[in-house]
Every structure is written in C-alpha cells, then in structure tokens.
Amino acid sequence: MVEASLAITITLNGEPYALDGDASVAALVEKLKMRPTRIAVEVNREVIPKAKYAETILHPGDSVEIINFVGGG
Amino acid sequence: MRSAPPAQSKVNMQDTQLQLGGRAFSSRLIVGTGKYKDFAETRAALDASGAEIVTVAVRRVNITDRTKENLLDFLDPKRHVVLPNTAGCFTAEEAIRTCRLAREAGGGDMVKLEVIGDPKTLFPDVAATIEGAKVLVKEGFKVLPYITDDPVACLRLAEIGCIAVMPLAAPIGSGLGIRNPHNIAIIVEQAKVPVIVDAGVGTASDAAEAMELGCDGVLMNTAIAGAKDPIAMARAMRLGIEAGRLAFLAGRIERRLYANASSPMTGLIG
C-alpha cells in the first residue's frame, strides 16, 4: 500500500496550512517543533488528549487550534 | 528586676496560609504574569512577591516564529502553581472552551473564570459567569470566578460549587483601589469559601486594606507589572498583604469621633 502523499490544506490557528505525508496530529506537532507538554490541541472544537495525537488524522478543511500559556492576569 | 514572663501574642504571626482547592499556600498574594518587560523581569517580580499561584492566559501558539521563549520556562514547577484565566472571553461558551484547553495544556484543575460583559470597563457578565461556572464545576474544574463586588452574585457562585469568589476592587488595571469596601466586607461576612480581591488595586495600602477587611487573598497584575519598578512593588505588595492580614487577625480599634488620650490624665504636675 502506498502512503498517501497528497497535500491537504487545513486551517491552523485561523490561517490556511498545508500538510503533506503523515496527517496525524502527532506529525503536525512534531513538524512545528512543539513540546506536547506545553500545548493543547483542538480539532474542530474538540480537545484532543495527548495520548490520541498519533491516531488522530486530520482531513482537508479541518480547523485546528494549538494553544499555549502566555503572560496574563 | 523583671519577674513576669514576656507577654505573648495570641495571634499566629506566621499565619500566611491560604487554603484553596484542598491545598495550602504559604502566600496570600496571587500574581499575574502579563505586561512585564520580559520573562526575566516577570520571574524577578514573582520571586520578590513570594506568590505561589500565578495566573496565565491561554492563547494561540506562534506558528511562524518558534524561537520565542516560553513563559513556563521562567516558572519554578516546584514552587509555582499555574492558574489559567479566561481573559478575553465574552461568552460562557468561549470561557468553557478555554478552560478545557488549559487543562489539556497542563494547567491543572484550577481556573480563573472571567467572562467579560463590556470591553470598556471589563466588568464581568454576572449571568454568563454563573452559567459558565455551573458547567465547569460539573466537569470537575476548581473554579475561581472574577466577579463584580456584588454580595448576591458571590453567594450564588459559592452555592454552585466555586472554590473561591474573586470580587473586583475596581476595574481591571485601573489602580483605583477598593471602591466599595462595605460590599467587600459583606461578601467576607457571608462567605463560605475564600474571598480573593481580584483587580483594581493600585498600591500596597490597597492590598493591605483588602486583607484588613478579612479577605483571604488578593490577585493582581498591573499594580506590580505597571509600577516604575515592578520588582520593588512586588515586595511592597507582599509586605502589604502580610501587614493587612496580621492587622485583621490582631483586631483593629473602633473608629471614634473624638480623641482618647494615650497618656494618663492623672498625676499631672501641678
């Protein structure tokens, strides 16, 4: 079986973002060089637990939010 | 020659413990991490304040610039407990969503619920705050709601299971101090949960006043971060909180209209 290598476009933090190859949340987080312990990921308004990053596959048009903590009061 | 033992206070001079969400904190000062020049200044002010609970905001990560430093690298995981806020949320739904993300990002169960009703005053939307708190409490969050200095709203929030109530002293960032000390006193008198004054303090005497009124703690950000010297102000706030707490425990004198001489009126020379 051939791995799907077609690029897909998702919306990442409000902007279009192209993904190719592995479209899992785990791959996206790794590609962005983010430490999973410091972030939270939401796909189509649903929070994805860290344990499910590998099995959660993104599809064209998915809306992904990745957040972290910043200074605030 | 003295024979009597030295007099001792019945007040526990070390009483700085704040019981919150099943934990004891040695500081009654909760500080925000916004508006500092850089993270090094944030950390220095945190250290000077002695605060253990620090608020943070939940925001999108910067996708394009991954070189930016992370606030968490400047906190001490052994000492600091992160209290994520829902600042910027105008609906209960947005605030709930933010809390769920915060918990997944490692923020724990405690959240500062803030549902703003008006962008100019940043006063809370009381109805939406109560609505959001109900859902969050059901989901297992330990909710600390920012709320108007309204004794009834505070009662309702405690009834639905919030672990503390956080009435404002004055508008966020205004530095106006405690605008309605009488309402704060009523809230304290009625409270079955800790009362933490959140927002509006400007200087150390404001923090002391909140504690003198019997509040359990004070949460502030701008008063420290916006001071000309934030690190010195952080220490001033720490001392103000401790002084106010001790004065509350010591029990102040009644206010009276006329003088009451401190020196004996008998034995005056003739």
Confidence band for A2, pLDDT divided at 50, 70 and 90: very low
Compare all CA atoms of chain A with the CA of B103 and give the residue at the minimum distance.
Answer: A40
What is the rounded CA–CA span in Å between residue B203 and residue B234? 10
Provide the residue count of chain A: 73
pLDDT at B17 over 90: no
Burial tier of B41 (Cβ tally within 10 Å: 0-12, 13-18, 19+): middle
Please tell me the distance from the alpha carbon of residue B236 to that of residue B233, in angstroms, as a whole number: 5
Identity of the residue in A33, A45, A73 whose CB atom sits nearest the CB atom of B221: A73
pLDDT value at A66 more than 60: yes
- Predicted local distance difference test score (pLDDT) of residue B16: 66
Rounded to whole angstroms, the Cα distance separating A34 from A11 reads: 18
pLDDT digits (tens, 9 = 90+) for B222-239: 999 999 999 999 999 999
Query: Residue B31's closest CA among B216, B220, B207?
Result: B220
User: Per-residue pLDDT averaged across B97-111, rounded?
Assistant: 96
Rounded distance, CA A10 to CA B152, Å? 46
Q: What is the mean pLDDT of residues B157-181?
A: 97
Average pLDDT, chain A: 91
The number of beta carbons lying within 10 Å of the beta carbon of residue B182 is: 11
Q: What is the SS3 assignment for B53?
A: strand
User: What is the CA angle B41-B47-B52, rounded to 5?
Assistant: 120
For residue B215, give the amino acid letter. C
Q: Are strands B110-113 and B217-220 parallel, antiparallel or unpaired?
A: unpaired
**B204 vs B202: CA distance, rounded Å:** 7
Instruction: Give how far Cα A53 sits from Cα of A65, A69, B191, Å.
Output: 13, 20, 43
Smallest CA–CA distance, residue A65 to chain B, in Å, is: 7
- Give me the pLDDT at residue B147, please: 98
pLDDT at position B118 over 60 = yes
Q: Which tens digit of pLDDT belongs to each residue from A14-49?
A: 999 999 888 999 999 999 999 999 999 999 999 999
Q: What single-letter DSSP state applies at residue A60?
A: T
The predicted pLDDT at position A1 comes to 46
Sign of CA dihedral B208, B211, B212, B213: positive
Q: Per-residue pLDDT for B112 more than 80? A: yes
Q: Is B161 a residue whose pLDDT tops 60?
A: yes
Q: How far is CA B187 from the centre of its chain?
A: 15
CA distances from B235 to A39, B17, B45, B175, B196 (A): 32, 18, 8, 17, 19
Nearest chain B alpha carbon to A16 = B63
How confident is residue B170, by pLDDT bands cut at 50, 70 and 90? very high
Q: Which of A11-25, B12-26, B86-100 is least confident?
A: B12-26
- Contact flag B61-A41 (C-beta cutoff 8 Å): no
What is the Cα–Cα distance from B76 to B15, expressed in whole angstroms? 23
Taking residues B75-80, report their average pLDDT. Answer: 94
Please state the pTM of the whole predicted model: 0.92
- Given an 8 Å threshold on Cβ–Cβ distance, is A69 in contact with B101? no
Q: Given pLDDT bands bounded at 50, 70 and 90, which one contains residue B153? A: very high
Beta bridge partners of B215: none
Specify the pLDDT at position B65.
Answer: 79
pLDDT for the residue B87: 97
- Give residue A5's pLDDT: 56
Q: B194 and B162 in contact (C-beta within 8 Å)?
A: no
For the ranges A1-10, B102-111, B198-207, the lowest mean pLDDT is seen at: A1-10
What pLDDT is stored for residue B251 in this prediction? 96
Average pLDDT of B141-168? 98
Given this model, what pLDDT does residue B5 score? 86
Whether A8 and chain B come into contact, CB under 8 Å, resolves to: no
Kindly report the length of chain B. 270
- Quote the CA–CA distance of B187 and B12 in Å, as a whole number: 24
Cβ of B266: how many Cβ atoms within 10 Å? 5
Complex prediction ipTM: 0.91
- The answer, for A57 touching chain B at a CB cutoff of 8 Å, is no
